Structure 1
Amino acid sequence: MNVRRLIPTAAVAGAVTLGLTALSACSSSDAADRKSGDKLSVVASFYPMQFLAEEIGGSHVSVTTLTKPGVEPHDLELSPQQIGGLSDADHILFLKGIQPAVDDAVAQAGVKNTVDAATLTTLESHGSEVDGHDHGAEEHEEHAGEEHAGEEHAGEEHAEEAGLDPHIWLDPVKYAEVAQGVGKSLEKADPDNAADYRKNTQTLVAELNKLDKTFEDGLKNTATKTFITTHSAFGYLAERYGLTQEGIAGLDPETEPSPARIDEIHAVAEKNKATTVFFETLASDKTAKTLAKDLGLKTGVLDPLEGITDKSAGADYIEVMQSNLAALQKALGAK
């Protein structure tokens, strides 16, 4: 279940090649169209893509995001100005299946250097929709061909049509694979600065490898492997580290669970010694607190990292993921 690895370039070469096929037509002529010293204009769909663009692009890029801090990304509606401005970008980085409005606008923009992060790694399915929630790691293999469970937003249904979970950034290993693909795409879009993009990519991948090892060590010995969450976004994380995500029923993390579902969660919590119901920073904690009170459990924040605000437990992806690890260790009784 928990296959270990650092992230060598060769291991993801196939995925990166597939993801960059659309960029093969790009050449140094694209860079020549910009004035000497101009930064590469990069549009990112939401925070996980913005972080990659900024970390890898460094001083050579000017990054704007379509999803402002504090905005729930799945429900994003683009203004006419945002849609029209996309065609002026030098590079677009998005994740298909998360934000339907973005998917449609990107398709219409026709920008050569457009990268769908989902093509830079392998998407997987997690759990089933038989009982309306996500079973996580233990049942991943049993239901590998079935649709991902308990999806909280209609915006993810595009990816879910194929039974695939789009939350790849919450697995440091898959996120590192995506980072390498993004680095390659920036090299193609701006060959004059390729060496810097390559160096920045290596630095970021090393940080993600370190984060992965920290999660592996920190979650190796726990009193329980089950965590309950209102947002079923942590299937990849659960699978990577041998955990089980138990999502609350409903497409929206604020949906009130049915009495039958509360009984199911209660049984799961007792059987697996679960202690905590997690909620997220960009959605209401009402459901989590109500359920926790009914079941005599605690509540906590597990951040799906779809946006950074002043309420986030960290200033960037790495810091918030470290906070997520600490929250999981506490809830799972890490030794």
Structure 2
Amino acid sequence: MLKSLSNVGPQNHIILLFIDNYSKDGAHELCKSWVEEHKDRYKGIIHVRARGNPVRLRNVAFKIGYEIGVKYLSFIESDVIVDENFIIREYELLEEYHKKGRNVISVSAVRYSPYENLDFIERCVTKWLKKRRMKDVEVFEGEAFNSGNCIIDLTKAFDVGYFDEDIVFIEDLDWGRRAVKKGFICLFDGRVQLLHMKKYSVRDLRKYFFRGALSEAKLFLKNGLMTAALRRVGYWCGLLLSAFIIGFTPIPFLILLGIGYGAYAWRTIGLGRLLLYPILMPVNVAKSVALGLAILYWLFRGDYSTEKVTVLDSEDWEIEYIK
């Protein structure tokens, strides 16, 4: 990422902000070395160490951006490879829409993950699930944005607010939907797709059960998406319950099984019509149970409609370097 970042221009107009969450894998030292080597090429460089999850670190970036008065903020995650024209391309697209009178708040680059980096489940989905037909235009509007590789108009972001630190992994979906509800436009630019180097693992599913389900439940409740959530939870939990009563009557299980197979057969190709449903069934059942419990948790807790933001009243981060 640093190697690709060093080619991104125009460097004399860019202030780089690196935020490290006290990593212990050598990333902090690597970044410090890179900063020392490239510090004279940029308008400014700020190196920060802050505690918290990635969503809180994004809020730290928001707050620092507001304080130093930048107009545009671009997030680039550490596992995304950007091309040298990334910022210029997205900035020009943003300005083009502004001149047309469109109320654009963000432009996100479309990215892809190499097949070899996917886990078994993701490979099956990629191989067998029918691709969604892309729109004829390479630039299109979305209901959210991609926080890993984007440019945001900070002068408008203040009206949307900070990221919700309760919603991890999918914080950009929540923030983007809030922006759209306020009348802003989130653009996606598919003209040049960026390489996403993250390696997926089936073991990463455990993150969903500990934190992802709570995040998804709050997202659904906040944004009026409970119909889709309850449909998913209802089907997979119903399938699980019907499996327990097969000894009394197999009819409910067979009906739900037939509905599921039919739905997946319509959405898949090749052997996926036969295999994808049973492969995904255990994961979908487990995730739906977790999501259902998470929804109940937020309903009993009751404060799912507000954003959790911890950076407004506390600046507990260290600024190690500023140019």
- The answer to whether the superposition gives a TM-score over 0.5 is no
Question: Larger C-alpha radius of gyration, 1 or 2?
Answer: 2
TM-score of the aligned structures, taking structure 1 as reference length: 0.29
TM-score by length of 2: 0.30
Structure holding more strand per residue? 2
**Larger RCO: 1 or 2 (CA < 8 Å, sep 6+):** 2
